[in-house]
Structures are given as C-alpha cells and as structure tokens.
C-alpha cells in the first residue's frame, strides 16, 4: 500500500471501535501517525494503539469527552506537544444514546445527543483549525449519517437532527477555511456492521433495512475508512464542502 500520508498526524475521535478503529488503522497503513481518542473503551483503544505501533507508526491514546471543551483543548495540546502539528482530523465520535420517538425524547437525551454528535464536532474542529490555519493546510473529515437526509422519523429524529447540523457545519467550514488551504468534507454512512447496531438495532430491523439497500448487504467499517483515507490524501485536494453518501445505494 502506498504511504501517501507519510509523517502526517491524524486525530480520530471515537477511535476505539467500529469506523473509528478501522480509520485509525487505514491512516496508519498509509504512514500517518495517529491520535486515538476514546471515552470509555480504554482496553479497545489501547489495542488499536498497539496495532498502529506494530506498523512502525507512532500512536497516542487519549481519553476525553469531545463534548467538553477542556477535554478537547487538552487533547489538542497533548498532540502538539508530541507531534508538533495536526494534518488530519476525523470527527467520528457519535451516538444516538438511545432510540426514541420524538414526543418521548426528553430534554436531557436531546442535549446528550447534540453534545456528542454536533457540539463535539464543533469543539474539535475549532481547536484543530487554530493549528491548521497557522500551518495553512489541513483536512477535516466529519462522520455524518444518511439519517441526516431521511430524518429517521419515529426512532432517532434527535440523532438525525444532530447529523444534519454536522452537514451544515461541514459546508460552512469548507467555505470559511478554503483560503487557508484547508478542506472540510463529511461522509454519511448507511448501514454499517459496527457495535453501534449491536446496541441500537434488532435483527429484525437490520433485515428490514438490508432489504431496501440496492446492493443487498450491510457495509463494513473498512469501506468507510477507505473513503476517509481518500479524503485525507492529496488526491482529494480539490474536494471540499461535500457530504459523501456511502450506503450501498440506499
């Protein structure tokens, strides 16, 4: 595999499992040093770090809540102290917390979902962009969801609304920071085989969704990670402000 990200420095939030884990390994295989952010899954995050190091790449495992400004500032500070720069930010951390019909969605749940999905993307982007502006280079890739397009009515409208905010933030940042040589894009995954669905989806629900996917299968975290890796590469230098659906045609 071509080392097209050799000596780049990447921060990936929520990198202990699923899409985040696959992304950390995909970027490391291309030569990027990787900062692995996690909230609760310490054992899994350390395992990702070990796998990255086995490739001859440096890793930094940092616990922190992306919805808390102090945690984000500390993560960015520690990254700069270790590597001296930040080239790539993947805002992957996200969760619906729990499925809920809209009238059953309590204010606390709404705030939690906005914090991890939208506020976290805002805080991480803000701190990292301070560094990227000085460098006059950088790439931000946000992980959205196809729920942002169809609303996820009746089960997770709070999550869909937060991801819709991520889409708008992506486009706005792309326009504002283009003069600094910084690109900002988002990926909207469809149904992907991650621990997310072990927690939030029944087998019946998965079967129902798969039946509506033109490619008739669930996607893999690696397939999302490959798109992240492309957007992080020089091959995507003229792509910014895009929301790329990776959903098997759903």
Task: Encode pLDDT of 63-83 as tens digits.
Answer: 999 999 999 999 999 999 999
Q: What is the pLDDT, as a whole number, of residue 153? A: 73
User: What tens digit of pLDDT does each residue of 113-171 get?
Assistant: 999 999 999 999 999 999 999 999 999 999 999 999 999 877 899 999 999 999 999 99
- Tell me which DSSP letter residue 215 carries: T
At 232, is the secondary structure helix, strand, or coil?
A: helix
Strand partners, 185: 141
Q: How many CB atoms lie within 10 A of CB 50?
A: 11
Could you tell me the pTM of the whole model? 0.95
Q: What's the rounded Cα separation, in Å, for the pair 11 and 201? A: 28
pLDDT greater than 80 at residue 108: yes
Give the residue from 88, 117, 44 showing the smallest Cα distance to 231. Answer: 88
Q: What is the pLDDT, as a whole number, of residue 94? A: 94
Q: Distance from CA of residue 240 to its chain's centroid?
A: 16
Q: What is the pLDDT, as a whole number, of residue 2? A: 77
CB of 20 within 8 A of CB of 12? yes
Q: What is the pLDDT, as a whole number, of residue 1? A: 67
DSSP conformation letters of 79-128? HHHHHS---EEEE-----SS-B-GGG--HHHHHHHHIIIIIHHHHHHHHH
Token reading at 249? 């045609």
Known catalytic residues are: 159
Per-residue pLDDT averaged across 74-96, rounded? 97
Q: How confident is the model at residue 229 (pLDDT cuts 50, 70, 90)?
A: very high
User: What tens digit of pLDDT does each residue of 18-68 get?
Assistant: 999 999 999 999 999 999 999 999 999 999 999 999 999 999 999 999 999
Q: What's the rounded Cα separation, in Å, for the pair 188 and 44? A: 24
Ordered structural domains, the chain, with CATH: 9-246 (3.40.50.720)
Q: How confident is the model at residue 111 (pLDDT cuts 50, 70, 90)?
A: very high
- How long, in residues, is the chain? 250
User: What tens digit of pLDDT does each residue of 233-244 get?
Assistant: 999 999 999 999
User: What tens digit of pLDDT does each residue of 2-15 get?
Assistant: 789 999 999 999 99
Sign of CA dihedral 223, 226, 232, 238: negative
User: What tens digit of pLDDT does each residue of 194-220 get?
Assistant: 876 777 778 888 888 899 999 999 999
Which phi and psi (to 5°) does residue 29 adopt?
Answer: -60, -25
């Amino acid at each position: 595999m071509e080392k097209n990200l050799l000596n780049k420095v990447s921060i990936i939030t929520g990198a202990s499992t699923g899409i985040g884990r696959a992304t950390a390994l995909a970027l490391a295989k291309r030569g990027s040093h990787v900062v692995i952010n996690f909230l609760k899954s310490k054992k899994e995050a350390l395992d990702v770090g070990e796998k990255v190091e086995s490739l001859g790449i440096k890793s930094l495992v940092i616990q922190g809540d992306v919805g808390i400004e102090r945690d984000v500032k500390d993560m960015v500070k520690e990254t700069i102290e270790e590597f001296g720069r930040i080239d790539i930010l993947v805002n992957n951390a996200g969760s619906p917390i729990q499925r809920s019909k809209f009238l059953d969605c309590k204010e606390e749940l709404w705030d939690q979902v906005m914090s991890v999905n939208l506020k976290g993307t805002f805080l991480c982007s803000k701190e990292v962009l301070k560094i990227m502006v000085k460098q006059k280079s950088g790439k931000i890739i946000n992980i959205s969801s196809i729920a942002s397009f169809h609303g996820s009515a009746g089960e997770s409208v709070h999550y869909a609304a937060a991801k819709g905010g991520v889409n708008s933030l992506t486009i706005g940042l792309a326009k504002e920071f283009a003069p600094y040589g910084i690109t900002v894009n988002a990926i909207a995954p469809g149904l992907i085989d991650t621990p997310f669905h072990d927690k939030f989806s029944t087998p019946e629900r998965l079967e129902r969704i798969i039946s509506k996917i033109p490619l008739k299968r669930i996607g893999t975290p690696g397939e999302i990670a490959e798109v992240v890796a492309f957007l992080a590469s020089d091959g995507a230098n003229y792509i910014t402000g895009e929301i790329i659906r990776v959903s098997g045609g759903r």
